[in-house]
Chain A
Amino acid sequence: MKITVYLGTGGVGKTSVAAAGALAQARAGHKALVLTIDPALRLRTALRLREGILEQPVDLDPPAAGELWAALLDVRATLDEAVHLYAPAALVQPILRHPIYATIADSLVGMQELMAVERIDQLARRGFENIVVDTAPSRHALEFLDKPMFFADLVNSNWVRLVGRTYKFVAGSGLANLGRKSIDFYRRVESILGANLVRQVLDFYSIFVSIAEGYAARAEKTVALLKDPAVTEFRIVTTPQKAQRDAHYFVHALEQRRFRVGGLLVNRVWDLPAEGIEAPGLAGEALEWYRAVSRAHRQALEAVQREFGGRLGDIRALPELARDIDGMGALERIAPLVSL
């Protein structure tokens, strides 16, 4: 099995690059799947993605030697599925109807990251050889890696084990065998955060914990796969203006966590224009503007190659298309350039 994770800040074209990477693998004869977060409308249409739908095969013309599949990461649907799959039957409805559950998919920071890891586990079990992951656009993209482990630690912590007992205590069903110190702290925290909120959260977690434990076990397994350099590589997607700063930030952060950095893809590079073309008036102004921007792109690319060329064997430039990169036609054009 092979996992390729595309990381980058917002607006760099990560989703298209990831889809093109999966397409290249399908064309090379593999059964590849791209797990994407939030594709543009035309890409969504081309990949036949719909909310609440699990993975779909994508028709290719001409047909590929392998297969291309696409899946949308739908946080709510994934969470619902996990509840149905892993919660004891009697608890499914109480969880789904709980007021905290209604807010959790939106407001628990890192939920997308937690669910991405859950989905990778599902997909690996469904037999996909090549999984391409498009991560949430964020400077904190590495929460994708940190959150699941945080959650796993949390679930296994004494605190969550405490929840059930504490809740019973709060609900007045007798004193649990909590230490006096714990009760004291609990009351103080409650007085600050608001008794009602604390009770709602505790109530929710006391029934949610059955799922959370299963999740934590799966997340630990998946994160181990992501850390295995023989299975997973991370590729950084950036744009010319951000290249140097993104390279610094992500390379450092990935190396610190001992993940394998596969390469840096500098997207949306404007081609250097042929010199000597002149045009009058507004056309001339547009030309001059284009030249200035593309020259700046070239300089930025050269700078990042100078600085990171030795450390990152693989630094590539992907061209900006005058029309947006979306639709299968555009993916086919950049797939050979993204190809591993």
Chain B
Amino acid sequence: MTQAKVAIFCGKGGVGKTTLSLALGLRLAGQGRRVLVVSSHPLAELAIAVSLDGLATHYPVAARNLFVVHIDPKELLKEVVERNFPVEWVARAVLNSSIYQNLIEVAPGLKEFYFLARLQALAERSAEGAPSYEALLWDAPATGHFLSTLGAARNFETFLTGPLAAAGGELRRFYSSMADIAVFPTTTLEEMAIEETWELCDKLAAGYQLRPRAVVANLISPLALAPEQEWAKLPARGEGALGFALDRGALERERIAELKRRLGGPLVGVERIRHYRNDLDALHQIGEALGGLPGWL
């Protein structure tokens, strides 16, 4: 059995987790690696947000190797029921019963628990009939929901006893294994996104012994990472557009310096792209800008 390398893009809503996951997926799949992107968005919703039209024509290698799924915990629970009740009408009766439907809505963490278990299974899945992946990219939900998803495993272990508690412990250990899981907290250089990144890093370290493989600073300006001697040559201020670009550059440089100081680990910058023909072209450019993430795959 092969274990896929797992990368998790997490962080505040709107920082570009989905875009980065797809962009990295496209890049790796284009190199001939089988990649699975697990998106927190239902596929119908994702299709509204990002169009992959033309993938097979423009990136045939990637088209063969890139897989995108959304895991709906309700569907997983349905599978569990169907496995437990091989007689179809009995299974259907259970699924339709209001007891079942209400219980799965209100049981805290139950859906998250089954989600984590499926994600682990996908990372470990053998070649038996189903594809096994070299890389699994989890486009995680926004920070709060991401942490409560991881927390579901811990809560099950802490508050309950019996088989689900044991399974919870096993999941928690899986999601604390730094060897196979690389966490990439993602942020823009806005105050709030950065604050949330630190909160996230602290909670991952405290609750799961997970440290970020690298922090990704997304949507930065060309001035943010320019070498110091180049930056020193620029005028201190300017009019209109130049003034805006310089002000923003200065702010971004302060924040990058602060991020690096506090992080004590690698930081990857991804520039806001300028021109693109369509979504696929944008993803391709972002994938190139993202480059190889340090020490991963």
Indicate the size class of the contact surface on chain B: 35 or more
A189 engages B103 (CB within 8 Å): yes
CB neighbours of B159 from chain A (8 A): 99-100, 102-103, 200
Q: Does B240 contact A (CB under 8 A)?
A: yes
B107 engages A201 (CB within 8 Å): yes
A106 engages B247 (CB within 8 Å): no
CB neighbours of A191 from chain B (8 A): 84
A154 engages B106 (CB within 8 Å): yes
In the assembled complex, how far is the CB of residue B250 from the closest CB belonging to chain A, in whole angstroms? 9
Q: Does B296 contact A (CB under 8 A)?
A: no
CB neighbours of A12 from chain B (8 A): 14
CA A198 – CA B99 in complex, angstroms? 11
SS of B interface (majority) = helix
Q: Interface readout for A169-205 with B: 1 if CB under 8 Å, 0 if not?
A: 0000000000000100110110111111110110001
Q: Does B119 contact A (CB under 8 A)?
A: no
A182 engages B99 (CB within 8 Å): yes
**Partner of B195 from A41, A277, A281, A286 at Cβ < 8 Å:** A41
Indicate the size class of the contact surface on chain A: 35 or more
CB neighbours of B161 from chain A (8 A): 196
Given A11-B14, A245-B48, A282-B234, A192:B241 Cβ within 8 A: no
Q: Does B191 contact A (CB under 8 A)?
A: yes
**Partner of A322 from B48, B155, B247 at Cβ < 8 Å:** B247
B242 engages A201 (CB within 8 Å): no
From A109, A162, A201, A292, name the one whose CB has the most chain B CB atoms within 10 angstroms: A109
Per the 8 Å Cβ criterion, residues 122-149 of B in contact with A are: 142, 145, 148
Q: Does A293 contact B (CB under 8 A)?
A: yes
B106 engages A196 (CB within 8 Å): no
Q: Does B152 contact A (CB under 8 A)?
A: yes
B80 engages A186 (CB within 8 Å): no
List 20 A-B residue pairs with CB atoms under 8 Å apart, sorted by A's residue number. A10-B14, A104-B108, A106-B108, A137-B12, A150-B105, A154-B102, A154-B105, A158-B98, A159-B99, A188-B84, A189-B99, A194-B163, A197-B156, A198-B107, A273-B241, A274-B240, A282-B230, A286-B221, A290-B241, A323-B251
Assuming A108-B106, A205-B106, what are 8 further A-B pairs, CB within 8 angstroms?
A: A41-B192, A106-B108, A107-B112, A138-B13, A192-B80, A248-B48, A249-B48, A273-B240
Report the 9 A-B pairs with minimum CB-CB distance, sorted nearest first.
A10-B13, A11-B14, A273-B241, A322-B247, A40-B192, A292-B274, A10-B14, A286-B245, A194-B164
